[in-house]
């Protein structure tokens, strides 16, 4: 994203950490996004980089593993 986007992300992550919250980024699609988020202190992520969308049956199979 833009430098302005990065300021917003950094601010949200800093605020969450100051409140003792765990940060989970949603919608991470690229290694570059993941790297930037990790450098800002984001601990967890979800998105197409991790897994494409799955239906309910597939979710049950994944959890069973």
Asked if 23 and 16 touch (Cβ cutoff 8 Å), the reply is yes
- Element holding 42 (H helix, E strand): none
* pLDDT per residue of the chain (65 residues) written in tens, 0 to 9: 789 999 999 999 999 999 999 999 999 999 999 999 999 989 899 999 998 899 999 999 999 99
CA distance 43 to 24: 6
CA distance 31 to 14: 22
pLDDT at 1: 74
Residue 31's contacts (CB-CB under 8 Å, 6 or more residues apart) are: 49
């Amino acid at each position: 994203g833009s430098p302005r986007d990065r300021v917003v992300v950094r601010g949200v992550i800093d605020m969450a950490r100051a409140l003792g919250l765990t940060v989970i980024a949603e919608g991470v699609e690229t290694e570059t996004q993941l790297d930037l988020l990790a450098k800002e202190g984001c601990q967890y992520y979800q998105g197409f980089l991790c897994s494409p969308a799955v239906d309910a049956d597939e979710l049950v199979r994944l959890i069973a593993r």
